[in-house]
Amino acid sequence: MYTTDLSGKGKAKAETATAEDPALLAAFEARVANDEFIEPKDWMPEAYRKTLVRQISQHAHSEIVGMLPEGNWITRAPNLRRKAILLAKVQDEGGHGLYLYSAAETLGTSRDEMIEALHSGRAKYSTIFNYPTLTWADIGAIGWLVDGAAIMNQVPLQRTSYGPYARAMVRVCKEESFHQRQGYELMMAMAAGTTGQKRMAQDALNRWWWPSLMMFGPPDDKSPNTEQSMRWRIKRDTNDELRQKFVDITVPQAEAIGLTVPDPALKWNEERGAYDFGEVDWEEFYAVVKGEGPVAKERMQARQKAWDDGAWVREAARAHADKRAAAKIAAE
Ligand SMILES: [Fe+2]
Ligand SMILES: [Fe+2]
């Protein structure tokens, strides 16, 4: 689905490379400044590696945990067409998680380490998935807003400086674009439906609007990693720039289908050529980052259960691989 670097308040500042060979560091920085991709076997500063492992693994976790709120509705989709769309979308998210775990593994971390960090609560994932999906309209709101915000974050990542991450994003972005469209189309249908359906669509927009704005991460002045990440071209736009872009694109989409964005401070600013909008509730954001989201515990229980239930598959795959390796040795 998405991610930006979630480590805001209270986190250590990006480690700056001090003890590293200045010649190697200068060569690395020159390559990055020249918009060259850095590849797995290239030399890179330790802090760059760490930042990427954190960001890519958070992104992977977000894709995987992001399957849960929507997966919850697959058996209750109102018709075959909607069910097929939702199934395809949730499967795409699983695929995104797997590309991203693979991209992170090229930096020297293992899948097991990343999964363990997620289950033990040490790793973060997007706060948005700790909110519940209460009605069918939430499926529309998620596609439209959450995947819409994801695209805003991920399009610039196609040009991020780490090659495997950038290449994974190319396919991910194509799929996210389908996710956003199906969500908006669902909302459009609901907004043009019965009074009850329209009310449901408006209610979903009311509940998902602010958490969607939180997806861009803390405000720039509270985002200690942004400066270093921009210099290393891991990030190409700041959190606030992306948030503004999202608001400017999404507000007219809401108006076009007769829904109201739940922000009394929202107003077109002629001078800036952009919308002014209200303040995000950052206290809520930090609480959810800390794991206090409405369904955070349920999400981790569901992931842990899926992991435990899958143990026999991993064991069988390992036994099969061992058997094949032994047969190959015997044949040589
Ligand atoms: Fe998506
Ligand atoms: Fe995704």
pLDDT in tens, 300-328: 999 999 999 999 999 999 999 999 999 99
Q: Which residues contact 162 (CB under 8 A, 6 or more apart)?
A: 37, 38, 52, 56, 103, 234
Question: Residue 2 Cα, ligand 2 centroid: separation in angstroms?
Answer: 6
Interior angle at CA 274, CA 273 and CA 275, nearest 5 = 140
Assess contact for 229 and 296: CB atoms under 8 A: no
Question: What's the 3-state SS for the chain?
Answer: CCCCCCCCCCCCCCCCCCCCCHHHHHHHHHHHHCCCCECCCCCCCHHHHHHHHHHHHHHHHHHHHCHHHHHCCHHHCCCHHHHHHHHHHHHHHHHHHHHHHHHHHCCCCCHHHHHHHHHCCCCCCCHHHHCCCCCCHHHHHHHHHHHHHHHHHHCHHHHCCEHHHHHHHHHHHHHHHHHHHHHHHHHHHHHCCCHHHHHHHHHHHHHHHHHHHHCCCCCHHHCCCHHHHHHCCCCCCCHHHHHHHHHHHHHHHHHHCCCCCCCCCCEEECCCCEEECCCCCHHHHHHHHHHHCCCHHHHHHHHHHHHHHCHHHHHHHHHHHHHHHHHHHHHC
Question: Residue 215 Cα, ligand 1 centroid: separation in angstroms?
Answer: 13
pLDDT attached to residue 104: 97
Average pLDDT over all residues of the chain: 92
pLDDT at 6 over 60: no
Question: Residue 155 Cα, ligand 2 centroid: separation in angstroms?
Answer: 12
pLDDT in tens, 22-38: 999 999 999 999 999 99
pLDDT in tens, 188-210: 999 999 999 999 999 999 999 99
pLDDT at 8 over 80: no
pLDDT in tens, 215-244: 999 999 988 788 888 888 888 899 999 999
Question: Residue 144 Cα, ligand 1 centroid: separation in angstroms?
Answer: 10
Question: What's the rounded Cα separation, in Å, for the pair 327 and 331?
Answer: 6
pLDDT attached to residue 11: 41
Whose atoms come closest to the Cα of 179: which ligand?
1
Question: Residue 42 Cα, ligand 1 centroid: separation in angstroms?
Answer: 31
Question: Residue 152 Cα, ligand 2 centroid: separation in angstroms?
Answer: 12
pLDDT in tens, 76-106: 999 999 999 999 999 999 999 999 999 999 9
Looking at 7-11, 70-74, 264-268, 300-304, which range is the least confident one?
7-11
Question: Residue 57 Cα, ligand 2 centroid: separation in angstroms?
Answer: 13
pLDDT in tens, 133-147: 999 999 999 999 999
Whose atoms come closest to the Cα of 94: which ligand?
2
pLDDT in tens, 135-185: 999 999 999 999 999 999 999 999 999 999 999 999 999 999 999 999 999
